Amino acid sequence: MTARLRSVLLDTPLFVFVGFVVVAALPYLGLDFYWQRQVMLIAVYTLLCSGLNLSFGYAGELALGQVAVFASGAYAAAILFNHGHTDILLAFAVATVLAGVAGLVSGVPGLRLSHWSLALVSFFFVLLIPSLVTILKEYTGGNAGLPGVLGPTLFGRPLFGKEFYLVAIAVTLLWMLVMRNMVVSRFGAFLRVMAESPTLAESLGGSVYLLRVQAYVIGALPAGIAGVLFTYMTGFISPTAFTLTLLIALLAATVLGGADSVWGAPVGAAILVLGPLQAASFQKYSTAVYGAFLIFVGVAFSMGLAGLARILRRRLLERRLAAPAAAAEGGAEPAALSIPGQRLEVTGVAKAFAGLKALNGVDLVVEPGTITAIIGANGAGKTTLLNLISGVLRADEGTVTLAGRQITGLRAHRVSRLGVGRTFQTPLIPPRMTVLEVVESGRLRDGEVGLLKAIVRLPAHYRVRRQDREAALAALSFAGLGHLADQPAGSLPLGTRRLLEVVRAVAGKPHVLLLDEPAAGLDDDGLRELEMLMRRTREAGGTVVLVEHNVPFVMDVADQVFAMELGRVIASGPPEAVRRDQRVIDSYLGRRGQVAEESGVA
Ligand SMILES: Nc1ncnc2c1ncn2[C@@H]1O[C@H](COP(=O)(O)OP(=O)(O)OP(=O)(O)O)[C@@H](O)[C@H]1O
């Protein structure tokens, strides 16, 4: 057994292989023809739902064109067959290319505009099926359909009955392994982050547009393959097989199985095929029932069965996880980390929102190995400044340079890849990731996504993922949070989530670290941990920019302070000097003291 095959086998849950071997063996154990068809239909729907998982569940796009791509694969197989090209591998290849093209044609313009444009464009493709079938009647048979598409070949050998069944199961397993490899790769991590927040994905170095196109196009590929299997399974196709009802049913099955789970697809597909909704008396009401079911599942059970299984599994494992993790840290020295800080220089930046000058000629220089704080009243322009540096916003005027290199006007993911890490005023933490996964995602900005390497599990994929994991563990230990590694991030209190954001940014070893109000809402313990983390980051060489309202904290931790008012810097220098500056007292510190006194806060 080669190392790669071994790794594919060992990294895949055993139940998957056992399950597929059992399913593949069923016809040899006496499963009759009717049930063989039902199982193959589950395989077909699994492929369709799995593609939807990627584009809809993981990438968060309402991709409604799956049925159209399914139809293109089905017609491709039938037309090839009728022209004497019976090889099923050829049909798979053509259907996959067609699916990719259909995905690109509908996805590229749709995704460039907005969520809803993609939904509309892809939905339009489904509505187009009957017209296209009529226009291409010569090849498609029009409304009457194409009968007698039976008995494809594989390398010249006809595939009937059990052999075709085996091909259907094997192809489905293969796709599921590809899907699983993608989901556990850096690409999958980006998708999970993006589903939580596109802004976060960009700030971690992912081009949201590119990720969406990739997820949408790749999600279309299994639908093309499913089309080929469906054609050869039924032996007959017509436009009546590719309806809106099927689309709604697939969406319902995807959500029910678990939209952001690899193994939710076969579960949802099995329920769709075997469930009570298949009764003949139900057919007339199918669209309404599936629609109502979709709404119900989407609103009341959006986690799906996979989400439920995750919760149960977590509860079962909770005890076991707590013990070794706590033991692992047990008073050990925090890991050492080197953070390659670079000089950040902001010169004359200005930004207006509909005439309101949020920034009006701001200059700022931050040296490596220092903490620079920016203070000022609400609306002074502090967050806008961080957004300009990190590429979330474009400056109207002025420049931003990193180690002398201009980064002005670059998109957020490019700025991130050049070494700017950041946190957000409201922590952006994907709740379904574990703490370790969240911190690992901070490493995504460094190096390539490596989608193909992940799919075929090249050694480079393992090396990168191992390095990601080690760096994330080191960053957690650096922050004294190693004992939380296996906790679901969503279960953490707000203060710990704030710290976690900082740790995620530190794990990416950024050249500049931008922190937006990290101390907000932290209790005394949290503040101490944050202060320690920031001091360690500075000692490790980091360039830190801190926007913060907690003045005592700022005065304690910062090397230099910039005070802002109405988009301008009104004072800068060492903390004590800025604290005594009369303009700063009048515009900010005095007012904060007054507010604190009025509210009884010391
Ligand atoms: N996207 C936007 N569209 C319109 N106005 C905006 C936008 N972002 C910020 N502003 C305005 O720009 C000004 C500066 O806002 P900014 O959020 O940068 O202030 P801040 O100093 O960070 O305040 P706070 O301490 O409350 O976070 C405010 O008047 C704000 O209303």
Q: What is the pLDDT of residues 97-134, one digit of tens each?
A: 999 998 888 777 767 766 677 777 778 878 888 888 88
> Which residue CA neighbors atom 1 of ligand 1 most closely?
353
C-beta of 358 in contact with ligand 1 (< 6 A): yes
**Does residue 314 sit within a domain?**
no
Q: Return the bridge partners of 159, or none.
A: none
Tell me, in angstroms, the distance from the centre of ligand 1 to residue 292's CA: 42
Q: How far are the Cα atoms of 78, 412, 513, 524, 560 from residue 546, in angstroms, in the given order?
A: 63, 19, 8, 18, 10
Q: Which of 257, 250, 244, 269 is nearest to 302 (CA)?
A: 257
Amino acid at 287: T
Q: Which of 196, 221, 244 is the last residue of a domain?
A: 244
Atom of ligand 1 nearest to the CA of 381: 18
**Does residue 93 sit within a domain?**
yes
Distance CA 37, CA 567 (A): 68
Degrees, nearest 5: CA angle 232-238-241: 80
pLDDT digits (tens, 9 = 90+) for 7-57: 555 555 677 778 888 988 999 998 899 999 999 999 999 999 999 988 888
Q: How far are the Cα atoms of 36, 314, 339, 446 from residue 28, in angstroms, in the given order?
A: 11, 37, 60, 50
DSSP 239-275: GGGS-HHHHHHHHHHHHHH-TT-STHHHHHHHHHHHS
For the segment 143-157, the average pLDDT, to the nearest whole number, is 88
- The percent of residues in the chain predicted with pLDDT above 70, rounded, is 89
How much is the CA Rg of the chain, to the nearest whole Å?
A: 28
How sure is the predictor about 311, in pLDDT bands with cuts at 50, 70 and 90?
Answer: confident
The reported pLDDT for the residue numbered 70 is: 94
Placement of tokens 């937006």 in the chain: 516
**Does residue 323 sit within a domain?**
no
Higher pLDDT among residues 108 and 297, named by residue: 108
pLDDT digits (tens, 9 = 90+) for 422-455: 999 999 999 888 999 999 999 998 877 778 887 8
237 contacts: CB under 8 Å, gap ≥ 6 = 74, 75, 78, 145, 146, 149, 230, 231
484 and 357 within one domain: yes
For the segment 296-300, the average pLDDT, to the nearest whole number, is 67
- Provide the CB-side half-sphere exposure for 173 (13 A, CA): 21
429 and 540 within one domain: yes
The reported pLDDT for the residue numbered 257 is: 83
Distance CA 15, CA 471 (A): 31
Tell me, in angstroms, the distance from the centre of ligand 1 to residue 587's CA: 17
> Per the structure block, which two tokens stand in for 161?
């009955």
Q: Return the bridge partners of 514, or none.
A: 422, 545
Distance CA 444, CA 471 (A): 11
Question: Domain of 540: which CATH number?
Answer: 3.40.50.300
The reported pLDDT for the residue numbered 330 is: 46
Tell me, in angstroms, the distance from the centre of ligand 1 to residue 518's CA: 17
| 329, burial (CB in 10 Å: exposed 0-12, middle 13-18, buried 19+) | middle
> Per the structure block, which two tokens stand in for 380?
């002074």
What backbone phi and psi angles, to 5 degrees, belong to 356?
-85, 120
Distance CA 545, CA 367 (A): 10
Helices (H), 114-185: 115-135, 137-140, 161-183
Atom of ligand 1 nearest to the CA of 567: 14
Tell me, in angstroms, the distance from the centre of ligand 1 to residue 353's CA: 9
C-beta of 19 in contact with ligand 1 (< 6 A): no
Tell me, in angstroms, the distance from the centre of ligand 1 to residue 357's CA: 10
67 and 198 within one domain: yes
Residue to mutate, 384, 387, 423, ligand 1, most ligand atoms under 8 Å from C-beta: 384
| Range scoring the smallest mean pLDDT among 139-148, 321-330, 529-538 | 321-330
**348, 398 contact by CB (below 8 A):** yes
**Does residue 328 sit within a domain?**
no
**237, 146 contact by CB (below 8 A):** yes
- The percent of residues in the chain predicted with pLDDT above 90, rounded, is 46
Tell me, in angstroms, the distance from the centre of ligand 1 to residue 554's CA: 21
> Which residue CA neighbors atom 7 of ligand 1 most closely?
353
Can you give the residue range of the structural domain that contains 393? 344-598
The span from the first CA to the last CA of the chain, in angstroms, equals 69
479 contacts: CB under 8 Å, gap ≥ 6 = 334, 499, 502, 503, 506, 529, 533, 536
C-beta of 381 in contact with ligand 1 (< 6 A): yes
Distance CA 431, CA 314 (A): 14
> Which residue CA neighbors atom 30 of ligand 1 most closely?
379
Atom of ligand 1 nearest to the CA of 379: 19
Atom of ligand 1 nearest to the CA of 354: 4
How sure is the predictor about 526, in pLDDT bands with cuts at 50, 70 and 90?
Answer: confident
Tell me, in angstroms, the distance from the centre of ligand 1 to residue 358's CA: 6
Q: Which of 244, 272, 304 is the last residue of a domain?
A: 244
554 contacts: CB under 8 Å, gap ≥ 6 = 373, 375, 546, 548, 561, 575
Placement of tokens 């989407």 in the chain: 298
DSSP state of 599: T
Report pTM: 0.82
**Does residue 291 sit within a domain?**
no
> Which residue CA neighbors atom 9 of ligand 1 most closely?
384
**Does residue 1 sit within a domain?**
no
Q: Which ipTM did the prediction report?
A: 0.95
Go through 273-304 and write b for each residue having 16 or more CB atoms within 10 A of its CB, e for each that does not: beeebeeeeeeeebbebbbebbeebeeeeebb
Tell me, in angstroms, the distance from the centre of ligand 1 to residue 354's CA: 12
C-beta of 386 in contact with ligand 1 (< 6 A): no
**Does residue 22 sit within a domain?**
yes
What is the sign, positive or negative, of the torsion defined by CA atoms of 147, 164, 55, 214? Answer: negative
350 and 235 within one domain: no
C-beta of 379 in contact with ligand 1 (< 6 A): yes
> Which residue CA neighbors atom 2 of ligand 1 most closely?
353
pLDDT digits (tens, 9 = 90+) for 265-276: 999 999 888 876
Distance CA 24, CA 46 (A): 15
Q: Which of 174, 132, 207 is nearest to 413 (CA)?
A: 207
**327, 286 contact by CB (below 8 A):** no
**31, 238 contact by CB (below 8 A):** no
Would you call 366 helix, strand, or coil by DSSP?
strand
pLDDT digits (tens, 9 = 90+) for 361-420: 999 999 999 999 999 999 999 999 999 999 999 999 999 999 999 999 899 999 999 999
Placement of tokens 């050990």 in the chain: 332
Q: What average pLDDT does the chain have?
A: 85
Residue to mutate, 357, 382, 424, ligand 1, most ligand atoms under 8 Å from C-beta: 382
Higher pLDDT among residues 3 and 140, named by residue: 140
Higher pLDDT among residues 345 and 256, named by residue: 345
354 and 239 within one domain: no
> Per the structure block, which two tokens stand in for 546?
């801190």
Distance CA 442, CA 503 (A): 8
The torsion region of residue 85 among left (phi > 0), alpha (psi -120 to 50) and beta comes to beta
Tally of structural domains, the chain:
2
Helices (H), 12-114: 14-25, 33-52, 66-82, 88-113
Q: Return the bridge partners of 237, or none.
A: 146
363 and 235 within one domain: no
C-beta of 28 in contact with ligand 1 (< 6 A): no
C-beta of 355 in contact with ligand 1 (< 6 A): no
> Which residue CA neighbors atom 5 of ligand 1 most closely?
353
Q: Which of 225, 244, 263 is the last residue of a domain?
A: 244
Distance CA 600, CA 602 (A): 6
The reported pLDDT for the residue numbered 171 is: 95
Distance CA 82, CA 543 (A): 67
Tell me, in angstroms, the distance from the centre of ligand 1 to residue 423's CA: 16
The reported pLDDT for the residue numbered 109 is: 72
How sure is the predictor about 1, in pLDDT bands with cuts at 50, 70 and 90?
Answer: very low
206 and 85 within one domain: yes
**Does residue 401 sit within a domain?**
yes
**45, 272 contact by CB (below 8 A):** yes
**447, 397 contact by CB (below 8 A):** no
